[in-house]
Amino acid sequence: MSSPIYQGLHRKLFEAFLNLVDDSEAQLAALLRSTDWKDAHSLLSVGGGQGIIEASILRNAPHASLWYLDPSGEQCDAFRQYMKTAGLSQRVRDIAQTTYQDYLTDQQFDRVLSIFSWFYIGTEGRWLTKLLNLLTVGGTAILVLPNITSIETIFYRAFSPDRRMTLVGEEVVSALGHLDCTVVQKTYVKWLKTDELFVAEQLSDGSLALAAFAAERPVTSFKLDEIEKIAELIKTNHKARGVPLSWDLILVTRNS
Ligand SMILES: C[S@@+](CC[C@H](N)C(=O)[O-])C[C@H]1O[C@@H](n2cnc3c(N)ncnc32)[C@H](O)[C@@H]1O
């Protein structure tokens, strides 16, 4: 995550982006409701980043220990620090600086969590089979990804140089259909209002920053035709309640 959109003058725009797309409270509430955390003894966080959600989950899963993996050394350090500050370091059993694909363990987990990290893993059968093998029988993986209708997905598909970022929940659900598991998909929507997306008919900082984030380049690099395209994509996807920022919570339970 070292894109120039996070730095310097762009930092302000990144904050506008975060204010626009942040739905973390609803995501945490949905995660906490999605499964019985009191029963869980072992959790694996895949691409856990700083670990803010993992800390809240640990507080709601009193018997659980946490295993964590992320290939970014910066994220592993941030996670270590966050868990220390949260007083949860003793509940962390392992921090592996590795990708999911390279992660090796004999351990099986009651819960596996991937919050907006499955982009980097995708729908190949071997990685989905690995997911089931990482679960105990009856264990559940919880994956959070954008929904196909989300403005985020529409921007990724229009501007992202990284095709992996166009992955949506539906594609993972469909690929899991071939495996011995029970899959439940729940879709949630945060409606973005017109006045958050446009200011006096011009694109708001938040809209520009959302497109810049998807394009992985600074807002100032957008040419006039691209700015027009951003405005058109927002207008085309405007529904009665606003523009949908929708995300899927996918529950995958291993059957046998
Ligand atoms: C969008 S961030 C999400 C972080 C965190 N889960 C959250 O919700 O704030 C994606 C994370 O996936 C990690 N990642 C990238 N490639 C990965 C891979 N192949 N396997 C596991 N994690 C990966 C990144 O380092 C990053 O921390």
34: three-class secondary structure by DSSP: helix
Binding-site residues, ligand 1, Cβ < 6 A: 46-49, 70-72, 75, 99-101, 115-117, 120-121
pLDDT score at 11: 66
Distance 75 CA to ligand 1 centre (A): 8
> Nearest to residue 125, comparing CAs of 61, 70, 174, 169?
174
Q: Which atom of ligand 1 is nearest to the CA of 75?
A: 27
Find residue 246's DSSP bridge partners. 189
Best residue among 1, 6, 70 to mutate for probing ligand 1, ranked by most atoms within 8 Å of CB = 70
pLDDT score at 1: 47
Return the CATH superfamily for domain 4-254: Vaccinia Virus protein VP39 (3.40.50.150)
> N- to C-terminal Cα distance for the chain?
38
pLDDT score at 71: 96
pLDDT score at 18: 83
Residue written as token pair 């018997």: 63
Q: Which atom of ligand 1 is nearest to the CA of 45?
A: 6
pLDDT score at 9: 56
Mean pLDDT by 10 residues, the chain (256 residues): 53 78 96 97 97 98 98 96 98 98 98 97 98 98 98 97 97 96 98 95 92 89 95 97 98 96
pLDDT score at 217: 87
How far apart are alpha carbons 90 and 189 in whole angstroms?
A: 36
Nearest-CA residue for atom 23 of ligand 1: 47
Nearest-CA residue for atom 4 of ligand 1: 49
Find residue 170's DSSP bridge partners. none
What residue ranges do the domains of the chain occupy?
4-254
